[in-house]
Amino acid sequence: MPNSSIPKHIALILDGNRRWARQHKLEVIKGHEIVADKVIENLVENCIDRGVEYITLWAFSTENWKRDQSEVSGLMDIFRRGLARSAERLHKKGVKINVIGDMSRFPQDIQENAKKWIADSENNTRITLTFALNYGGRDEILRATKRIVEKAVSGEIKVSEIDEELFSSYLDTASLPDPDLLIRPGGEQRLSGYLPWQTTYTELYFTPVLMPDFDAAELDKALADFSQRQRRFGG
């Protein structure tokens, strides 16, 4: 039975990995590896146990390409191996894998792996796990707008037909409900362009806990906070 005190869809920003690594006197990439190898799978299982139906993780932004090349290369290796291992295990547990963002900038093998995760798990129903890869909210809106303009120019759609519903159908998240709760670990209190169209009425939860330390207890704190919110949706 649906529980209105539990968010149907959680969006989460994977923040604080580098600071965690520095605090532990490790290479920066180790923070990302911990999240990929240990945190994500446990987080997804915890969400399943609590009745969450969708979780969307911002794992790589359009701005992340500006980071030190060694870190970017390390993240590509994580997407090749770490996330691939997690995706395989989660698929076997009935998790549906999804990807949003502009994957065209990634190496071809990573693009192909992402397509494989999606295809292999498309009939799974326990929870939908979406990775936001090379994702930026403004980039998503621009890409959607260009596609709509092209179809309007070609006569496939009329300008009078363009409304919120149609626009949403051209976004990366067309198959997903808008998030009920957005969680940002790491202490920053901003969205940084994460799902700007979709989070108009999303409840926001910020915590100083760094992502590698975000465990079941921290998830429960966020859910407890969410359960106390009164959602009015502008009413």
DSSP category for residue 179: P
How many other C-beta atoms are found inside a 10 Å radius of the C-beta of residue 170? Answer: 17
CA distances from 112 to 108, 133, 180 (A): 6, 14, 31
The β-bridge partners of 9 are: 54
Which member of 64, 77, 102, 225 is catalytic? 64
Residue 124 is a catalytic residue = no
For 176, the 3-state DSSP assignment is coil
Distance CA 172, CA 176 (A): 9
Residue type, 78: I
Go through the chain and tell me how many residues it has: 235
Q: Which residue has the tokens 């979709």?
A: 198
Question: Which of 3, 125, 140, 131 has the alpha carbon at shortest distance from 75?
Answer: 131
Q: Which residue has the tokens 């994580």?
A: 78
Residue 77 is a catalytic residue = no
Distance CA 130, CA 100 (A): 7
Which member of 15, 98, 134, 172 is catalytic? 15
Residues classed as catalytic: 15, 64
